[in-house]
Amino acid sequence: MQQQFSHHWARIQQQVQTALELCRLDGLWIYSGAAQRYFLDDQTAPFKVNPHFNYIFPDPNAEQSWLFLDGKSKPKIYYFAPQDYWHCTPQPPREAFFADQFDWHILTESQQMTSYLHNPQYCAFIGNDHELAQALGFREINPKKVLNVLHFARSIKSEFEIACIYQAQRIALKGHRAAKAAFFEGKSEFDINLAYLQATEQSDNNVPYGNIVALNQHSAILHYTKLAMQPPAQRHSFLLDAGASYLGYAADITRSYAFEPKSEFAELVSRLDQLKLLIIDQLEVGFNYLGYHTQMHKWIARLLHEFDFVRLSPDDIFELGISRSFFPHGLGHLLGLQVHDVAGFQQNARGTHKAAPQDYPSLRCTRDLVEGMVLTIEPGLYFIEMLLEQWKNHPLAKQFNWQKIEQFKQFGGIRSEDNVVIRANGAENLTARAAQFG
């Protein structure tokens, strides 16, 4: 991994040079961030590192630390390691595989940074604390031109980043196996979540996003995170959307299960899994992501027809927009240091923006596929009362098999999600490879 990181760092140096020359700046100061206190409280929210800091210095625990880069010299790390007997403070990773790439300075008090800052008015500040940046004399705070260059670069992953995302897959899949077993043992959503966290050795505070642990009709709530304490009287279905992190890089995996393995719902789960794998097999460099999303809608329309939910032809189900009421989210999104990673709509390093089309407002990527992109592929099929209600008084209402739809509401819905990297010859399924090799 050390060699991969060296290549990763060489790419970053070039990116920083490009950004600084574009904006006529002398350097970048990147602040890792600090935990934010709750209102009128001395407790803090869980710390989340600035992803631009983590991109360069792969330590997601480095709070109140700084990086300086000029695109030419060895980067400087100002690592905050206070002496504190109240809290367990992070220790400087001086022996880590990436440590030799940096010129080290240790801060025991945050105010020490003022002695290292020289001519901040000629540099850019990258971070979320605008008041701190202004107080320190920065004029260029998160300049858009700099962020455009960095965001676009981050959307195309280095082999180091891909290796980190792959390791995150392996961790997350341990949790998915434990959660699946807990479901079939009759555990509650709360207990299934505990099984997941224990297997992945994570806490609720350091998973990359809130785990979605949904039994039965709760699967119809796309971002369900409530976690019922008691198991339902009857188990029909289980949807788990949960990930893991490795050096700050995320896995984002979803699996759906039918409690009755020979039921029609189980067959529907299997068919959606197959469609996910089929679309992954078709991913190619140079093709726009919207085309794959549209293709999945056509296949969902075919499922609605074949399973007798809607008694129209698949073409009519698609053209009339009916499939959107059963599959309301996008096919997926870019993945990396952030679960919904940056630059899904950004078409180039200049920042040209291409929004999601009106018909698919939840689509999170409008890019042409490029070698090195890492994306989620997550088709879904749900029975959501709010979205289906519009069709009940519609002239096409009689074409819906409302009795069967009502029966399937007890299952909530299905989502199947893998993480892939785009290669020159197609997509490599990182989730499938991690599942195969353990």
Judge whether 375 and 335 are in contact, CB under 8 Å. yes
User: Please, which residues bridge with residue 433 across strands?
Assistant: none
Stated length of the chain: 438
The pairing of beta strand 426-429 with beta strand 418-423:
antiparallel
Q: What is the DSSP letter of 206?
A: T
Q: Is 378 annotated as a binding residue?
A: yes
Q: Is 417 annotated as a binding residue?
A: yes
Could you tell me which of 103, 109, 110 has the C-alpha nearest to residue 67? 103
Helix 264-282 × helix 289-306 angle, to 10°: 160
CA 51, CA 29: separation in Å to the nearest integer? 14
For 20, list phi and psi in degrees, rounded to 5.
-70, -40
Q: What is the CA radius of gyration of the chain?
A: 24
Could you tell me which of 307, 314, 233 has the C-alpha nearest to residue 269? 307
CA 149, CA 154: separation in Å to the nearest integer? 9
What is the arrangement of strands in the sheet containing 212-215, beginning at the earlier edge strand?
Answer: 212-215, 237-246, 249-258
- One-letter amino acid identity for 425? N
Q: Is 218 annotated as a binding residue?
A: no
Please report, in range form, the residues annotated as the binding site for Mn(2+). 241, 252, 333, 378, 417
As annotated, the binding site includes 241, 252, 333, 378, 417
